[in-house]
Structure 1
Amino acid sequence: MTRLLMILGLVFPLCTIGQHTLTVQVTNIPNAHAGEPIYITGNFNRWNPAEETMALKKNTDGTYGISVLLKDVPSDRLEFKFTRGDWHTSECTTEGRLEGPRLATLDRDTTITCQIEGWRDDFPASTASPNVHLLDSAFYIPQLDRQRKIWIYLPEDYAASGKRYPVLYMQDGQHLFDEATSQGRIGPIEWGVDEVIDTAKEKCIVVAINHQTDYKDRVPEYYFHTNAEYPEVEGPRYLEFIAKTLKPYIDSHYRTLPDKAHTGLAGSSMGGLITFYGGLAYPDVFGTLGVFSPSIWLDYGNIEKELTALTTIANIHTQRYYFYAGMSENRLKPDSTFVHMHDDVQRTIGLLQKAADPEIKLSAREDGRHGALYWREAFPAFYDWFIAGTQKSVH
């Protein structure tokens, strides 16, 4: 997509915050939906896709534009997108796929000229591969006495090959395969897990467990230790469900390679945190852990305590841990202190190495931030690493 045709303004290496006038001109839009309002949304209005004050005005020459005074936007990173009022009507590529936000600097009054290539709702809502199937719309979790939607990705040749496959269990199943079920701060961007495996030489089975429908209910399910904000958490029982209920079911109903070396667990953010604990709690079950942007800053120092009191060092030593962290993932902790994701991950890696010294790989992206856009771009390298590890154990 032609992301940005012109930016007038200087780029300074140091970030400042101030107020400047942003003028946006859209010179080309798809012919469909003529007359419908077009909105600009971004990190200047908490990504509200339909704020009336951010509606573009149609000019006499058929172009659209807006001029608005923006306050408190980091000068080095203005982020924005266009919508027609909600995320389902967001701008997209000519192929109908969502992309990350447009980027610009805003260190002075700035004019930007853009083109919109397509609208997402003019394309099929689902982006899932035919190899993605609904395992169960209400799989029972006895440990938590609740039901959950679970998806399964089966390689294209599964029915005919007679082969057995490694299995990767993943958190937050809504966001892995399909834009139609995804949600996110900057729109429903999915990981593209299915597309990655569709085109990979070596395949695996993926079991994707949806999180709780309400995000506030997702949090205690992904906490392993209690804390001041959550005196009751469900993470240990959730992990027990995966290891002792779901995995045995999958192994008995599908042609899997059920041993530890061919079994992985992966997740991001709070899902990354519970994935890490899953590796520590069940080192005889999960051989590879994909820990993407783990929310260590929300864990009240419990990881440090856990890693200094390990009793299953031998099994953890034979595991493989893949960490991903964005160098620009800066988060505000509950105690109002400011932390850097990369620092948290580096510290955790050091403690893990000292405690059990498993195989560890760190992928750090310099401009990486917190969100599915970055996890989508990080997943292919993790998948190759996961598969490479399983192949070491084939013979």
Structure 2
Amino acid sequence: MPRVTFQLTLPPGTPPGTLFLTGDHRAWSDDPAGWTFRDGVLHAELPDGLLAQVKVRRVNPDGTTTEEGDPWGGRARAHRVVVRGDTTVPLTVPGWQDGHAGTARPTRSAPPREETVLDAPWGEQPVRLWWPEGHGGPLPLLILHDGQNVFDEAPTFAGDSWDAGGAAQALADAGYPIRIAALPVNEERNRRYVPFPIELNAFGSGADEYADWLKGTLLPHLHGRFGPVTAEDTALAGSSFGGLITAYAGLRDPGTYGTLGVFSPAVWPADFAFLRWMAGRGDPHSRVWVDMGDHEGSSVQAAQDVITLARDLTAQLAPHVRETRFTVGEGHWHDEPAWKERLPAFLRWWRTGPV
């Protein structure tokens, strides 16, 4: 197997402790055995073609473990590693997590114009709203899942956002204004987004409850406040499990959403139960965008297999919907920067047709 050398650069003031490497290639283990840095260097033998996301962790003198973070004490995006023969991988640690969840992160992207709260069966549901300046009436509506990740960076999972406001502003500047309603989710994400009982949702899916709320509470509220919007001008979109619930809700409730943005759909739960569930389902009035990055897997081959799966899913849908579009993000991993890059093309396709 290829020999991979990791070279570590630490931020000033790093506390004492044992530094080690973890990642998805070792199931994010907290055990430093065999993966400890010596004088800032770690040598490892890894499979050729491996696609790995890795982070540095520190075992403190009191036995606790601290993970690397961003410069403001929040979670940081993982380092990306592609193994192609012997290689050296520089790892620069920007900071260490300190429990503040990155609340001091500077904002690079446009925040929502307004945040409100609606009642839901699971409690209060925040709704983050954005619209272009000077457009107060009815506008085509985009509903986004994982609303904590789509606007400004401070509340995001790892400091990266979709910059949905920036993408929508560019669309408005081209003559196609839209309104965005983004729905943050908490630790119940797996229950809310996965339509099938699995260990991650404690074998109790809340996806139907969520889809019912979207159709029966969120849409009527937005129509009542801003004016009615036709199903044709209503889009639902999300990534990963957010892509899964997008496809599920759209096919479950035909005639509700004119466009579905299914980004990097995670369809593996319950032994790919979604693929069996969707057989024969469709919406003759709906357009469906499906995409996948070419680095969304544990290896180069696994990533190609995921692309094939997503392409086949699109082909299965094609006879049962108005239109489909499948695209592959070159060099894209399963993360916010990739979805940020693909969002503008989806928005243009939704509002203007082929891109």
TM-score, with structure 2 as normaliser = 0.75
Q: 1:113 to 1:173 in 2, by over 3 A?
A: closer
Alpha-carbon distance in structure 2 between the residues aligned to 1:90 and 1:45: 26
Which residue does the alignment assign to 1:210? 184
Aligned counterparts, 1:131-280, within 5 A: 131-136=112-117, 139-141=118-120, 145-157=121-133, 160-183=134-157, 187-200=158-171, 201=173, 202-211=176-185, 213-214=186-187, 217-226=188-197, 232-253=204-225, 255-256=226-227, 258-280=229-251
Contact in 2 for aligned 1:90/1:119 (Cα 8 Å) = yes
Alpha-carbon distance in structure 2 between the residues aligned to 1:114 and 1:304: 39
Q: Deviations over 1:23-48 (max 9, x none)?
A: 5264xx88xx4565796856466568
Amino acid in the other structure paired with 2:252 = A
Aligned length: 334
Which residue does the alignment assign to 1:13? none
Contact in 2 for aligned 1:293/1:341 (Cα 8 Å) = no
Alpha-carbon distance in structure 2 between the residues aligned to 1:338 and 1:83: 27
- Shift of residue 346, structure 1, vs aligned partner: 2.1
- Shift of residue 102, structure 1, vs aligned partner: 5.1
Which residue does the alignment assign to 1:293? 264
List gaps (5 residues or longer) in structure 2: 59-65
Alpha-carbon distance in structure 2 between the residues aligned to 1:156 and 1:338: 37
Identity level (%): 20
Alpha-carbon distance in structure 1 between the residues aligned to 2:91 and 2:279: 53
Q: Deviations over 1:176-203 (max 9, x none)?
A: 22332222xxx34322212222333233
1:101 aligns with 2:79: yes
TM-score, with structure 1 as normaliser = 0.69
> Which residue of the other structure, out of 63, 69, 73, is the alignment partner of 2:43?
69
Amino acid in the other structure paired with 2:313 = T
1:368 aligns with 2:332: yes
Q: 1:277 to 1:86 in 2, by over 3 A?
A: same
Q: SS state of the match for residue 128, structure 2?
A: strand
Q: SS state of the match for residue 131, structure 2?
A: coil
Alpha-carbon distance in structure 2 between the residues aligned to 1:241 and 1:195: 28
Alpha-carbon distance in structure 2 between the residues aligned to 1:25 and 1:89: 16
Which residue does the alignment assign to 1:345? 310
1:89 aligns with 2:89: no
Q: SS state of the match for residue 347, structure 1?
A: helix
1:322 aligns with 2:289: yes
Q: 1:76 to 1:40 in 2, by over 3 A?
A: same
Alpha-carbon distance in structure 1 between the residues aligned to 2:227 and 2:32: 49
- Shift of residue 206, structure 1, vs aligned partner: 1.2
Aligned counterparts, 1:13-32, within 5 A: 18=1, 20=3, 22-24=5-7, 26=9
Alpha-carbon distance in structure 1 between the residues aligned to 2:245 and 2:265: 8
List gaps (5 residues or longer) in structure 1: 1-17, 58-64, 92-97
Which residue does the alignment assign to 1:61? none
RMSD of Structure 2 on Structure 1 (CA): 4.2
Contact in 2 for aligned 1:126/1:179 (Cα 8 Å) = yes
Alpha-carbon distance in structure 1 between the residues aligned to 2:68 and 2:79: 13
Rg (Cα) greater in structure: 1
Q: SS state of the match for residue 340, structure 1?
A: helix
Q: SS state of the match for residue 203, structure 1?
A: coil
